[in-house]
Amino acid sequence: MESVQLQRTYLDLTTPHVADACMRLGIPVRCAPAGMRPLWGDTHLVGRVRPARHYGSVDVFLEAIGLATPGDVLVVDNGGREDEACVGDLVTLEVSRANLSGIVIWGLHRDSAELRTIRLPIFSMGALPVGPQRLDAQDADALASATCGQHTVGIEDFVLGDGDGVLFIPLNRAAEVAEVAAAIRDTERRQAARMRLGTTLRQQSRFDEYLAARHTHGKLTFRQHLRAIGGEVEE
DSSP string computed for 169-220: EEGGGHHHHHHHHHHHHHHHHHHHHHHHTT--HHHHTTHHHHHHHHHHHSS-
DSSP string computed for 61-89: HHHHHHH--TT-EEEEE-TT-SS-EEE-H
Structural domain boundaries, residue 225: 200-235
Q: Give first-to-last CA distance, the chain, whole Å.
A: 25
Q: Is 74 annotated as a binding residue?
A: no
Rounded Cα distance between 15 and 44, Å, is 9
CB distance 178 to 35 below 8 Å: no
CATH number of the domain that residue 133 is part of: 3.50.30.40
Rounded Cα distance between 131 and 110, Å, is 8
Q: Is 116 annotated as a binding residue?
A: no
Task: Return the pLDDT at 232.
Answer: 56
pLDDT by residue for the chain (235 residues), tens only, comes to 888 899 999 999 999 999 999 999 999 999 999 999 999 999 999 999 999 999 999 999 999 999 999 999 999 999 999 999 999 999 999 999 999 999 999 999 999 999 999 999 999 999 999 999 999 988 889 999 999 999 999 999 999 999 999 999 999 999 999 999 999 999 899 989 999 999 998 998 889 988 888 888 778 888 888 878 876 555 4
Q: What are phi and psi of 231, to 5 degrees?
A: -105, 170
Whether 192 is covered by a domain: the verdict is no
Q: Is 91 annotated as a binding residue?
A: yes
Task: Return the pLDDT at 235.
Answer: 47
Q: For residue 14, which of 171, 189, 141, 219 has the smallest C-alpha distance?
A: 189
Same domain for 70 and 27? yes
Same domain for 118 and 50? yes
Q: Is 90 annotated as a binding residue?
A: yes
Listed in sequence order, the residues at least 6 apart from 49 whose beta carbon sits closer than 8 Å to its beta carbon are 72, 73, 75, 146, 153, 154, 155, 156, 157, 158, 159, 168
Task: Return the pLDDT at 223.
Answer: 82
Same domain for 114 and 22? yes
Whether 37 is covered by a domain: the verdict is yes
Domain count, the chain: 2
Rounded Cα distance between 106 and 53, Å, is 10
Q: Are strands 73-77 and 37-38 parallel, antiparallel or unpaired?
A: unpaired
Give 98-114 as a 3 state SS string: CCCCEEEEECEECCHHH
Task: Return the pLDDT at 215.
Answer: 83
Same domain for 15 and 129? yes
Whether 28 is covered by a domain: the verdict is yes
CB distance 188 to 39 below 8 Å: no
Task: Return the pLDDT at 109.
Answer: 98
Same domain for 43 and 109? yes
Same domain for 56 and 166? yes
Q: Is 100 annotated as a binding residue?
A: no
Q: Is 76 annotated as a binding residue?
A: no
Q: What are phi and psi of 124, to 5 degrees?
A: -150, 165
Rounded Cα distance between 154 and 87, Å, is 19
